Amino acid sequence: MSDSFLNKRTALVTGGTSGIGLAIASALGAAGARVAINGLGTPEQIDTAISKINKSGAAEARYYDADLRDAIAIEAMLQEVNAWSPVDVLVNCAGVQHTAPIAEMPVERWDALIAINLSAAFHTLRLSLPGMAERGFGRVINIASVHGLVASINKSPYVASKFGLIGLSKVAALEYASAGSRASGGITVNCVCPGWVETPLIEPQIAAKTNDLSIDRDAGIRELLREKQPSGRMSLPEEIAELVVWLCRPAAHNLTGTAIPVDGGWTTQ
């Protein structure tokens, strides 16, 4: 996947400062794109992310600091990115987790989680799709989760946000299905639905297992996987990124409105 088929294209990756988003931003850079990332992080983390994307071969890499809980900040970010270079590839990857039973879920956590995991994608979509349609090319990849396809206890806002993200993506896919042509590339909107992926997001859940069962980290990971993911293997962020890059290819022009599980068989059961 080292050809530069995204040369002269621009990608915006939310959640691009860490984990899966950083791997996606680097892989899009390796395919030749200009890459804009958004996300939280210390200045050192952001510098490290930008230099990783540049080293991957990106035409250019820039950081945008919008807090995705704030619709006005998202609008300002999209204006700035589009003024730099119109967005051809939009990856909504930012996401947060909070686990608690419904009756104990803090209301402010619910609101923040829905804002970051779902409403932010609505805003980036509504602000990007019309431009993509005018240019006849666009790729939107929303990083949902197996929790957009099946539920688990104690994850009410996360599961609600990811089911919502898949629904939102299907509507967008239909509304833009006829835009562009095979020659221009068309507009596609898809979700990728990972099971367990080795990133900072799942560390609290690993820690909870190791504490509850008084076991070490590796045993905690095995325990998490045993419950749900039949392959017994976590995915790596770079593996999710390869799929995202493939979805950007010209050959994927008719693959739209899907929710693709990468879950070691979790949702097959």
Is residue 119 part of the contact set for ligand NAD (CB under 6 A)?
no
Given candidates 12, 68, 173, 187, which one binds ligand NAD under the rule CB under 6 A? 68
At its nearest, how many Å lie between ligand NAD and the CB of residue 28?
A: 15
Is residue 200 part of the contact set for ligand NAD (CB under 6 A)?
yes
176 noted as active-site residue: no
Is residue 93 part of the contact set for ligand NAD (CB under 6 A)?
yes
Closest of 173, 169, 146, 170 to residue 158, by C-alpha: 146
Phi, psi of 129 (to 5 degrees): -60, -40
Q: Considering only residues 19-58, where is the footprint of ligand NAD by CB under 6 A?
A: 19-21, 38-41
Residues whose CB is less than 8 angstroms from the CB of residue 172 and which lie 6 or more positions away in sequence, other chains included: 125, 129, 140, 189
At its nearest, how many Å lie between ligand NAD and the CB of residue 259?
A: 12
At its nearest, how many Å lie between ligand NAD and the CB of residue 163?
A: 12
At its nearest, how many Å lie between ligand NAD and the CB of residue 240?
A: 8
Cα(52)–Cα(112) distance, integer angstroms: 29
Placement of tokens 């956590």 in the chain: 109
Q: Considering only residues 138-167, where is the footprint of ligand NAD by CB under 6 A?
A: 143, 145
Whether the CB-CB separation of 139 and 247 falls below 8 Å is answered with yes
Closest of 87, 17, 81, 91 to residue 52, by C-alpha: 17
Interacting residue ranges for ligand NAD, rule: CB under 6 A: 15, 17-21, 38-41, 67-69, 93-96, 116, 143, 145, 194, 196-197, 199-202
